[in-house]
Amino acid sequence: MMKNDARRGWALAVMVALAVALPGCGGDSNNGGNDPEVFTDTRTVAVLDASFVAFTAQRNGSVDANVNWNNASNDIDIYVTAGNCATLDSLIQGLCNVIAFSESGSAKPEVLTFAASNGTNYRVWALNLGPGTETITIRLTAR
């Protein structure tokens, strides 16, 4: 029985890795390349720490950001910055160009939509304000 659970865990890990490494694969190619691009990442994040997804927009359009986590008592906020915002410290110190944000203390999941420009680099940050360590999933859909 444990052997099957371990296989399922490995299968899930491989699927997540492929989704992150090959986000533009799949979909219906008959609509002229207008399929949405999806970027997903899941990480365990300590209190007052953050995870992010970095990507380059492949077209002008919009990006829907959806950040979800397990424990509803934790407060997770989203920040979208220019791609050159390299560290959480830079973001906190106000040294980054913040394009959009959502700071609800009660929303779960935390969501927002922002405009993206073709060829522009972005980072979407998920900041864990606690009170506990959390597993956070960031899912971006670029249209």
Residue 119 sits in which domain range? 36-142
Q: How does pLDDT run across 91-110, given as a tens digit for each residue?
A: 999 999 999 999 988 899 99
Task: Please check whether residue 26 lies inside any domain of the structure.
Answer: no
Task: Please check whether residue 116 lies inside any domain of the structure.
Answer: yes
Task: Please check whether residue 10 lies inside any domain of the structure.
Answer: no
Report pLDDT for 34: 76
Q: How does pLDDT run across 29-83, given as a tens digit for each residue?
A: 444 567 899 999 999 999 999 999 999 999 999 999 999 999 999 999 999 999 9
Task: Please check whether residue 122 lies inside any domain of the structure.
Answer: yes
Report pLDDT for 85: 96
Report pLDDT for 7: 43
* Count of domains forming the chain: 1
Task: Please check whether residue 5 lies inside any domain of the structure.
Answer: no
Average pLDDT estimate for 2-17: 42
Q: Per the omega criterion (within 30 degrees of 0), is the bond before 109 cis?
A: yes
Task: Please check whether residue 120 lies inside any domain of the structure.
Answer: yes
Task: Please check whether residue 13 lies inside any domain of the structure.
Answer: no
> Band of the pLDDT at 122, cuts 50, 70, 90?
very high
Query: Cα separations (Å) of 111 from 20, 60, 92, 101, 137?
Result: 20, 20, 20, 9, 12
Q: How does pLDDT run across 53-67, given as a tens digit for each residue?
A: 999 999 999 999 999
pLDDT at 16 over 80: no
